[in-house]
Structure 1
Amino acid sequence: MQEFSDLADLEELTTLVAVAEAGSFTAAAQVLGRDPSVLSRRVSQLEQRLGVRLLSRTTRRVALTEVGALYARRVQGVLDELASASREASDYAATPQGLVRVSLPLSFGRQWIAPVLPAFLAEHPRIRIELKLTDRFVDLVAEGFDVSIRVAAGKPRDSSLTARKIASYRNLLVASPGYLAAHGTPEVPADLMRHACLGFTGYTGWPDWPLRKAGRRETVRPTCALVADSTEVLLGAAIEGAGITFTADWLAGPALRAGALVEVLPGWSGKESGGVYAVLPPGRLVPAKTRLFVDAVARAIKAGWVH
């Protein structure tokens, strides 16, 4: 069975319809801006491929054969559908719309992305958002996500994906003013060993806290009054005065601004800084709906980030 396969086939079909409407190769050539001999060759190739005569040629004009008329009518419908699809695609691109499927880390998504959504949806009423909040590493392509927001110590490793860095962060030590008033303020990293600490088991260096300051490096393995796999739980405990925790500035930022937490050992931070990345499936063209979402997230982070 003969199938439409490539651009050459499309050009042959377009030529047939143009010749049928114009009544001659010369007139059709003026419409299409091509040499009449090129059009004649295209129709001959189409006839050879199909194994039927589509046009009756005379010295003065050409006319469709019976099968040619049937075929041209069907082809015209296909070309009209293609033109309509192209217009729809252009309109779709011009007016951002449709579903954006987003994967987010749990804590980061709740704190930084969720507050962005109401204003974003109000500004773009034809865009819909589907969020998947999970700390699991997702496969964007296999699972059908348009974008994944990832918080990582380094750039995402999969080179087939497109990663846009939208913010940087660092890990720092924090505690409540009440805890420090009651137990004293550490002066050097070694002092942490005498304090109640709150340990995040998901940290890459766990159970150590690798610290650095102006080229100096020290590693502390604290005695923890509480360990958990949730940074939000540990941050809440720190705010309530349970001890010192080692956490990301993006998470501790609101409590630092409010005075509920203060930085401990200012200048000492995690040995590696990290970044927030918008990770996109491979390909150069990013749909407007996805680009607008990523831009909104980047603006919100820039406006509220604490370092």
Structure 2
Amino acid sequence: MLVFAKVVDLRGFAPAARQLGLTTSAVSRAVARLESHLGVKLLNRTTRSVSLTELGAEVYPGCARIAQTAREVSALAGRYAMVPQGRVRVSAPTVFGEVWLARQLPAFLARWPEVEVDLTLIDRMVDLADEGYDLAIRIATPGSLSPGLVARALFEMSYRLVAAPAYLAAHGEPQSPPELATHRCIYLGYGPFQDRLDFERDGHEPVSVRVRGPLTINNSKGILSTVEAGLGIGIVPDFTSAEALDGQRLRSLFPDWRLVGGYGVRTVHAVYSPSRFLPQKVRVLIDHLAAAGSAH
């Protein structure tokens, strides 16, 4: 019944087999045994897809409830285990995962050697339940998180304007946001990240500037590489530029001004599906990331 529910949830024998750690043939045999036991056909099978029969659609909700109860029992056991253990499947945006998240994992795995982390770096919003993830990292503006998920804020991130000393020596260092209009700027150039920069500063009127440049890149590490090469002034997340700024390969511009609007402050969240019992392996990972975020 658990295997049958998983096949229906993931719409196929192969994805169910991957998530259950079984072979596709073992999953097929399990469903066949259930059909034989009940004396009915539950699934219509083709080479490309499976679909529920009329009776299968009536049987599925009961099997799904059994599967959910089994997950809750397992989570309850994990919650009270002395040592968190097992695999945690995590999804995160590519650059954030490469630059910040991956660096937090060695210390976590040293602290909890019985836990394994399966990290997927992907620039799309995964469906935690359907795709079998325990945890996802989302960088969101207020009110933009998906409903129906539990979210824990890790830290706030902001965008910075950075430039290489060589570029500033050759083209001059802008002293205020309006001067950006005469410089080459490199930015993300999609969605809310367009060529308009909105600034605020305590005691001053807000400022909006249209910027231009020879290049837009949909990846902040790519922007950082071109900025370090002296191509222009880049607009990147603070976690992306921190190492280059600390190493004085780049300089930060307008530290007294705040970017708002499309490049406004965002919050990094750890999100997970609601459950009465959050497994210990997931809980300790979230706690570790929150502690690292507080030092950000």
Task: Compute the TM-score of the two structures, normalised by the length of structure 2.
Answer: 0.69
- 1:129, 1:90 → 2: CA distance? 16
What is the Cα deviation at residue 91 of structure 1? Answer: 8.2
Q: How does 1:213-252 map to 2 (within 5 A)?
A: 213-214=201-202, 216-252=205-241
Matched letter for residue 122 of structure 1: A
Matched letter for residue 270 of structure 1: L
Say if 2:246 is the partner of 1:254: no
Matched letter for residue 275 of structure 1: T
Deviation string 1:22-55 (CA, Å, 9 cap, x unpaired) is: xxxxxxxxxxxxxxxxxxxxxxxxxxxxxxxxxx
Q: 2:274 aligns with which of 276, 282, 290?
A: 282
Q: Which segments of 5 or more consecutive residues in structure 1 lack a partner in the other structure?
A: 1-81
CA contact (8 A) 1:155 1:163 kept: no
- 2:191, 2:244 → 1: CA distance? 20
Say if 2:108 is the partner of 1:116: no
- 1:199, 1:135 → 2: CA distance? 17
Q: 1:194 aligns with which of 182, 185, 199?
A: 182
Alignment partner, residue 302 of structure 1: 294
CA contact (8 A) 2:153 2:267 kept: yes
Matched letter for residue 193 of structure 1: A
- 2:211, 2:88 → 1: CA distance? 43
What is the Cα deviation at residue 184 of structure 1? Answer: 0.7
Matched letter for residue 150 of structure 1: R
Say if 2:133 is the partner of 1:145: yes
Q: Which has the higher contact order (CA 8 A, sep 6+)?
A: 2
Deviation string 1:133-183 (CA, Å, 9 cap, x unpaired) is: 011011112211111011122254333111100101111211112211111
- 1:98, 1:216 → 2: CA distance? 54
Change (3 A) 1:251 1:90: closer
Change (3 A) 1:101 1:298: same
- 2:239, 2:158 → 1: CA distance? 8
- 1:116, 1:273 → 2: CA distance? 22
Q: Aligned Cα RMSD in Å? A: 2.2
- 1:233, 1:124 → 2: CA distance? 34
What is the Cα deviation at residue 274 of structure 1? Answer: 0.9
Q: How does 1:3-14 map to 2 (within 5 A)?
A: none
Deviation string 1:253-295 (CA, Å, 9 cap, x unpaired) is: 1111111111112222321211110011112432110111112
Task: Compute the TM-score of the two structures, normalised by the length of structure 1.
Answer: 0.66
CA contact (8 A) 2:187 2:193 kept: no
Give 3-state SS (helix, strand or coil) of 2:211's partner: coil
CA contact (8 A) 1:170 1:273 kept: yes
CA contact (8 A) 2:78 2:84 kept: no
Matched letter for residue 189 of structure 1: P
Change (3 A) 1:211 1:90: closer
What is the Cα deviation at residue 196 of structure 1? Answer: 1.2
Q: 1:134 aligns with which of 118, 122, 130?
A: 122
- 1:296, 1:134 → 2: CA distance? 22
Bigger radius of gyration: 1
Matched letter for residue 285 of structure 2: F
Q: How does 1:38-187 map to 2 (within 5 A)?
A: 89=77, 93-187=81-175
Q: Give the percent of matched residue pairs that are identical in Structure 1 and Structure 2.
A: 36
What is the Cα deviation at residue 118 of structure 1? Answer: 2.3
What is the Cα deviation at residue 94 of structure 1? Answer: 2.7
- 1:158, 1:171 → 2: CA distance? 23
Give 3-state SS (helix, strand or coil) of 1:163's partner: strand
What is the Cα deviation at residue 122 of structure 1? Answer: 2.5
Matched letter for residue 152 of structure 1: A
Bigger drift between 267-276 and 210-219 goes to 210-219
What is the Cα deviation at residue 230 of structure 1? Answer: 1.1
Change (3 A) 1:283 1:231: same
Give 3-state SS (helix, strand or coil) of 1:89's partner: helix
What is the Cα deviation at residue 218 of structure 1? Answer: 2.0
- 1:281, 1:245 → 2: CA distance? 36
CA contact (8 A) 1:140 1:281 kept: yes
